[in-house]
Amino acid sequence: MRVMSTEAPDAAVPLKDATLAATPPMGWNSWNRFRCYELSEEVVLGIADAMVTSGMRDAGYHYLVVDDCWQAFARDDAGNLASHPKRFPSGMAALGEQIHARGLKFGLYLAPGRKTCAMIYDRYPAREIGSFGHEQRDAQTLAGWGVDYLKYDWCKANRGGTGLDFEGAFERMAGALAETGRPILYSISEYGSSRPWQWAGRYGHLWRTTPDIRARWSSVLKIVDRQHGLAPFAGPGGWNDPDMLEVGNEGLSEIEARSHLMLWALLAAPLMTGNDLRTMSAVTRELLTHPGLISISQDVLGRQGERVARHGSLELWARALSDGVVHGVLNRGSRPTRVELADGVVRAAGRELLRLSGAAVDVFAGRALSAGGEEWQLAPHEMLLLRTSEC
Ligand code: GLA
């Protein structure tokens, strides 16, 4: 029988192992596509297989995170969390083994208060499955199941007389995780409510900066606009998290999904896919595993990119890389726009947008730009990425 410690976390244990997230974490999370009631062991194992066979794992997507609604409706008699007996009949330790056997890492969802978000928003009929007052017990349970990633999701944790505040709640679990001695990547999720970029890097490897994403272009843009100014807070070991990807989910066009991924790569955002990898199209698979986009996302310098200018409906973006810079031109308008390159100058409608120095490549097309000049027709919502080896 496991003996639970009742002592306060040991102050000498470092709260965070920054090496777990030297570059933005990559993986898959169940929420965006399967939400609460479609989640099951069968889905998760199917996804685990698909991560291997589709090439996602080998492209760098290592974490498979099971979000809310994996839990039984109550703790067991000893006070421990258990998995939902119908939807996860084999239990979480067995699931973790299956995930690890495929060369993947296992992630789970908890919430710091009395309730998880699905209890609040999806009528998940559970009781007291939040981690309030059970932090050390739950951290030990997860470590015992072989969990490698925790998404800790606020969900009004200050309600119900907990007395929790944002930083205090997340610090508490950081201490409990550290005490387990198991390296566990820690995802802090409070939707940007308390400006977490100012404090979350002390405890976590990624922190949500904004409310939940939806598979709509308007949602992608709303989130992107709220990342402005946050670049200085991110870097190797800790990342701003504009939420999980909606690439491959119904609601975004092919072009919008591509721009969404390009923006997340420029933002040095965690790349947590959220689509059904078992049935995704070849176009989605090729996009998600695109070597040029992943190499920008995972650049070792770890500098988050930003919007640097606006020209009408065109936006210019830039991200410094370890061996140069990547520029982005995003057409936010509703009309196609012609973009031209001549003598190292990129122009639209005769107006200079940026100057490229050194050899440049069109990242998505995966080809070097011709010295004789280039021309692109940017569709509405389309983004062009140009990478150069000089700054
Ligand atoms: C919140 C989070 C989502 C997801 C759900 C689960 O809304 O922001 O990412 O985890 O809870 O209930």
Name which of 86, 66, 65, 83 is nearest 74 in CA terms: 83
Active-site hit among 153, 241, 243, 299: 153
Nearest residue (by CA) to ligand 1, atom 3, is: 212
**pTM flag (> 0.75):** yes
* Whether residue 153 lies in the annotated active site: yes
How many Å lie between the centroid of ligand 1 and the Cα of residue 303? 27
282-338: per-residue pLDDT in tens? 999 999 999 999 999 999 999 999 999 999 999 999 999 999 999 999 999 999 999
Q: Which residues contact ligand 1 via a Cβ below 6 A?
A: 31, 67-68, 109, 116-118, 153, 189, 212
Nearest residue (by CA) to ligand 1, atom 8, is: 212
Burial of 252 from C-beta contacts in 10 A (0-12 / 13-18 / 19+) = buried
Active-site hit among 49, 122, 212, 362: 212
Helix-strand-coil split of the chain, %, nearest 5: 30, 25, 50
> Average pLDDT for residues 134-147, to the nearest whole number?
98
Q: Are the C-beta atoms of 311 and 287 separated by less than 8 Å?
A: no
3-state secondary structure of 139: helix
The chain-wide mean pLDDT, for the chain, equals 96
> Average pLDDT for residues 353-373, to the nearest whole number?
94
Nearest residue (by CA) to ligand 1, atom 11, is: 117
Q: Using alpha carbons only, give the angle 362, 21, 45 rounded to the nearest 5 degrees.
A: 90
3-state secondary structure of 359: coil
Question: Please, which residues have CB within 8 angstroms of residue 315's CB and are 6 or more apart in sequence?
Answer: 307, 309, 328, 329, 330, 332
201-241: per-residue pLDDT in tens? 999 999 999 999 999 999 999 999 999 999 999 999 999 99
How many Å lie between the centroid of ligand 1 and the Cα of residue 244? 10
- pLDDT at residue 327, as a whole number: 98
**Of 117, 152, 154, 190, best ligand 1 pocket probe by most atoms within 8 Å of the beta carbon:** 117
**Of 38, 69, 191, 212, best ligand 1 pocket probe by most atoms within 8 Å of the beta carbon:** 212
- Examine the pLDDT at 2 and tell me if it is beyond 70: no
Instruction: Phi first, then psi: give them for residue 340, nearest 5 degrees.
Output: -125, 150
Looking up tokens 């492209």 gives: 59
* Whether residue 212 lies in the annotated active site: yes
Task: Measure the CA dihedral 298/31/282/105, to 10°.
Answer: 50
How many Å lie between the centroid of ligand 1 and the Cα of residue 35? 9
- pLDDT at residue 12, as a whole number: 60
d(CA 192, CA 253): 27
Q: Which residues are 376's β-sheet partners?
A: 339
Q: Are the C-beta atoms of 340 and 373 separated by less than 8 Å?
A: yes
d(CA 367, CA 3): 59
For ligand 1, what atom is nearest to the CA of residue 32? Answer: 9
Share of the chain above pLDDT 90, in %: 94
How many Å lie between the centroid of ligand 1 and the Cα of residue 153? 7
3-state secondary structure of 105: strand
d(CA 303, CA 207): 16
How many Å lie between the centroid of ligand 1 and the Cα of residue 241? 13
- Examine the pLDDT at 4 and tell me if it is beyond 90: no
